[in-house]
A and B are shown apart, each in its own frame.
Chain A
Amino acid sequence: MTAAPVEVGRTGLDWTSLLRRYGWTTGVWLLLIALIAFYASTIPNFGSFQIASIAKNSLPLVYLAIAQAIIVIAGGIDLAVGSMLILTNAVAAQLMDGQSLGVSLVVAVLVILMAAAINGGVGWIIYVSRVPDIVVTLATLFIIAGLALIVLPSPGGGTSDGFRAIFTGSTSGTGSNFWPALVMMFVPMLAAARWMKHSRTGLSLYATGSDSTAAYLSGVGTLKAKVVSYAVGGAFAALGGLASLAITGSGESRFATASNFTLRSVAAIVLGGVALTGGVGSVVGAAAAGIVLFVLSPVLSAMGVDPNTAQVIQGALIVLVMMVAGVVELRRERAE
């Protein structure tokens, strides 16, 4: 059948169409590279230590951005990803304290499964009750953060040195070995991206977020899509909690951390090209935007910008990117 001399299914690359589809993601990665290059040129001793520092310290936000991206692409939004981060951080810190690497790894797996189960349940509640995602997860934002405070009322707990090295590259959490952090960043990110775009379940998340009626009519299980998106999102939020435990070496439950991380995860996906209306965007773009948001503060302080002004600049950047994208989209529509 492939020998048919008709143009159906031709595989020739159409650059304009490729650029249109992946342009945003590419743009965010270019922005990130430009920012890091600029940062490297402003400080005299840029090297592997800085790379390791950026890679590992941006991990929690990158994981949360991926979590939020998966949920939003499937047509939802989860205001409780930050709470899930502190809950998993607290639980892991309590259970891993003084344990060996082997026990820590078992705990890590259990914590990820717990977060996936809780969040999958949240997705189920949203679907069955028909209460909007933003309302249900606003409630779980408080509930899950409260649970974290019950588990770990004051900063404490700990983890094994080996576990710290998995995310940070060194048993003390600081060092110049950037490979483990990069692996922990790119492997889950690319795995999630591949799963989203190449498995039937992953595609059903895009389908449900893009047009839930058409998805239902083509036989996609929309309940399954909702539950799976929240469960996988919860698992990524748990990775964020584990990463922050590995970075600091001890646990801490603070409501401010939870809400701050949630808001930054939403900022990251918007900057990363995920449409809040669902169905559009990629976890790769959202992850890059997560790093951009993290890198922005050292870059701005290297430029001598006052930290308070830096906040304003971060916000302005999001609006600016959205406006530029809007103008590009408008011009394209006019052109058609």
Chain B
Amino acid sequence: MTDTPLLDATGISKSFGTVVALRGASLQVEPGEIHALLGANGAGKSTLVKILSGVHRPDAGEIKVHGKKFDIRTPRIAADTGLGTVFQDPALIPDLTVRENLRLTDISEDEVTTWLEHMKVREVDLDVLIRELPLPTLRLLDLARVLARRPSLLMLDEITAALTADQAEQVFDVMKEWKDRGNSVLIITHRLGEVMRMSDRATVLRDGREVEVCVPRDVGESGLVRAMLGEAAKAMVEGATGMERLAGAPIALEASGLSSSDAVSDVSFQLGAGEVLGVAALEDQGQDRLFELLSGSRRPDAGRIVLAGGEELDARSPYDAVRRGVVLVPSDRLQALLPKRPIRENLTTPLYNRVGSWFGLARDEKARVDSAIRRLSIDTRAGKQAGRLSGGNQQKVVVGRWLASGFRVLLCFDPTRGIDVGTKQQIYELLRELADDGAAVLLYTSELAEIPLVCDRVLVMYDGELVEELPASEATEQALLTAAHGISEEVA
């Protein structure tokens, strides 16, 4: 390897509002290597790649390519600098044909078709609209298009995520060939098996900093996982005992054989009243879709969701689900709130559908809203608009409005994303309390360390299937992460 790295990014910092994504992270990629960029969810991998691709501009830091400093302001500049990225969502225009997409970016059709042939992609008609092609084909097409620009550093963000095993093999071949031609490849992936097999070196990010640069073959999968996690996370909810599943509790919701296109396949589980059931998964393993199915945003292709008393959920819309007492707390709070309206009004929105609400709320409903505010200790002075509350208080309002209207099953999808530690604790305590009062709670959180602290039981999802079920006492972060990577226990 030569003295000057191909890519030398140092001290890269980036914040989005109050959320700090990168705190002086560094990344060096040598010429002629396959380098893996690793980290748990939220470690800053995607932000770093987006900065290197010209999508975001760093707040601080320096990027050198072949020893020369570059200001990568736009994706165009990144491409001209020799940094080529295949993003998680293919950057192809849905309403244009393949040919038009290539012409748009001035890329040779011959070179792209050669790469596609190389990857054994057949039957791609260049005159077909992008929106008519399946996602795996689009990924490979996007890869071929980036390769045709001959980048000296090829960055692949979770490229194998939607690919079948043999398509992934084709991509691995291309990666090797690109490396053999003297170029470098940066892979971002959750699949540690791929990292072990393909990469020469790896940089591990944690909390927006690089914490380890290592040779994956030397440290092994468990070494990588350890580096990604760092020191064992401190217990957050004090006194949260490992509450086992309450034996004999009535079933509040039972899903059997749920499937939805490629995202969810044959998922079955039972959720008991008085239980907090955790769902652990890496990004894009079908958990989004599972929550969409349960909350009525989407209908399953197959399978049934049965509520207590044998009533089938069969929701055609979130409205149906809410009426049957199945309610959702999404991660994007502003999506669930009316940000410009007062807090009180936000708390009462689910009540609007009741008879009589056209003429104002009934007195007992007012009382319920008041009690929800008290119970959540929402700071109502904070402002007239819910959108001005802090993220944590906003999330409390989202939970609070279901408290005011009543529910049986609470679906929480990553409710603490981007929330400070103190408020997080309040939210987790609230979920625990609700469960102790007999509610059933299904909780997905991207922060694996928090699962054993609040849940009674954990389901692990991988590639659209439930691959593991653990009681809270065994759900250490390491066990969860191992299962979530689709690695069987014997290997770990």
Interface residues of A (CB under 8 A from B): 1-2, 4, 6-12, 14, 17, 21, 197-198, 200, 203-204, 206-207, 209-211, 213-221, 279-280
Closest-by-CB residue of A relative to B122 is A7
* A9-B113 in contact (CB<8A): yes
Q: Is B74 at the interface (CB under 8 A from chain A)?
A: yes
B residues in contact with A210, CB < 8 Å: 93-96
Closest chain B CB from A127 CB (angstroms): 14
* B121-A207 in contact (CB<8A): no
4 nearest CB pairs, A to B: A217-B91, A210-B95, A219-B76, A279-B95
Given known A-B contacts A7-B122, A9-B109, A218 and B95 have beta carbons under 8 A apart: no
B residues in contact with A17, CB < 8 Å: 125, 127-129, 132
Which of A2, A14, A215 touches B125 (beta carbons < 8 Å)?
A14
A residues in contact with B53, CB < 8 Å: 217
Question: Please, what's the 1-or-0 string for B157-183, where 1 marks a CB less than 8 Å from any CB in chain A?
Answer: 000000000000000000000000000
User: Complex: how many Å from CA A17 to CA B97?
Assistant: 11
Pairs across A and B, CB under 8 Å, 29 listed: A1-B113, A1-B114, A6-B117, A6-B122, A7-B122, A7-B124, A8-B113, A8-B117, A8-B123, A9-B109, A14-B127, A17-B128, A206-B100, A207-B104, A209-B95, A210-B93, A210-B94, A211-B94, A214-B89, A214-B90, A214-B93, A215-B93, A216-B75, A217-B53, A217-B91, A218-B75, A220-B104, A221-B76, A279-B93
* A219-B100 in contact (CB<8A): no
**Max chain B C-beta neighbours (<10 A), residue from A204, A211, A218:** A218
Closest-by-CB residue of B relative to A5 is B117
Closest chain B CB from A297 CB (angstroms): 33
**Max chain B C-beta neighbours (<10 A), residue from A14, A214, A279:** A214
* B122-A214 in contact (CB<8A): no
B residues in contact with A21, CB < 8 Å: 129
* B122-A200 in contact (CB<8A): no
Q: Is B243 at the interface (CB under 8 A from chain A)?
A: no
Closest-by-CB residue of A relative to B105 is A218
B residues in contact with A215, CB < 8 Å: 93
Which residues between 121 and 157 of chain B lie within 8 Å of chain A, taking CB atoms? 121-129, 132
User: Complex: how many Å from CA A197 to CA B103?
Assistant: 10
B residues in contact with A12, CB < 8 Å: 125
Q: Is B38 at the interface (CB under 8 A from chain A)?
A: no
User: Complex: how many Å from CA A11 to CA B125?
Assistant: 7
* B113-A207 in contact (CB<8A): no
* A197-B127 in contact (CB<8A): no
B residues in contact with A6, CB < 8 Å: 117, 122
Given known A-B contacts A207-B96, A214-B90, A214-B92, A9 and B126 have beta carbons under 8 A apart: yes
Given known A-B contacts A4-B117, A221-B76, A200 and B106 have beta carbons under 8 A apart: yes
Q: Is B36 at the interface (CB under 8 A from chain A)?
A: no
User: Complex: how many Å from CA A279 to CA B92?
Assistant: 13
User: Complex: how many Å from CA A220 to CA B106?
Assistant: 10
* B94-A7 in contact (CB<8A): no
Closest chain A CB from B154 CB (angstroms): 15
Given known A-B contacts A8-B124, A210-B95, A219-B74, A200 and B113 have beta carbons under 8 A apart: no
Closest-by-CB residue of B relative to A212 is B93
Which of B90, B94, B103, B122 touches A279 (beta carbons < 8 Å)?
B94
Question: Please, what's the 1-or-0 string for B41-77, where 1 marks a CB less than 8 Å from any CB in chain A?
Answer: 0000000000001010000000000000000001110
B residues in contact with A197, CB < 8 Å: 100
* B126-A218 in contact (CB<8A): no
Contacts A6-B122, A203-B103 given; 10 further ones with Cβ under 8 A? Answer: A1-B110, A7-B122, A7-B123, A8-B117, A8-B123, A10-B123, A204-B104, A207-B101, A210-B93, A219-B105
Q: Is B87 at the interface (CB under 8 A from chain A)?
A: yes
User: Complex: how many Å from CA A21 to CA B96?
Assistant: 10
User: Complex: how many Å from CA A2 to CA B114?
Assistant: 9
Closest chain A CB from B452 CB (angstroms): 38
Closest-by-CB residue of A relative to B126 is A9
**Max chain A C-beta neighbours (<10 A), residue from B55, B105, B106:** B105
User: Complex: how many Å from CA A1 to CA B125?
Assistant: 16
B residues in contact with A207, CB < 8 Å: 93, 96, 101, 104
User: Complex: how many Å from CA A100 to CA B312?
Assistant: 81
Q: Is B252 at the interface (CB under 8 A from chain A)?
A: no
Given known A-B contacts A7-B123, A207-B96, A214-B93, A219 and B129 have beta carbons under 8 A apart: no
A residues in contact with B110, CB < 8 Å: 1-2
Closest-by-CB residue of A relative to B149 is A219
User: Complex: how many Å from CA A204 to CA B100?
Assistant: 10
User: Complex: how many Å from CA A168 to CA B93?
Assistant: 41
User: Complex: how many Å from CA A14 to CA B98?
Assistant: 15
Closest-by-CB residue of A relative to B107 is A218
Closest-by-CB residue of B relative to A8 is B113
Closest chain A CB from B81 CB (angstroms): 12
* B55-A217 in contact (CB<8A): yes
Given known A-B contacts A203-B103, A210-B95, A219 and B79 have beta carbons under 8 A apart: yes
User: Complex: how many Å from CA A195 to CA B53?
Assistant: 30
Closest chain B CB from A199 CB (angstroms): 9
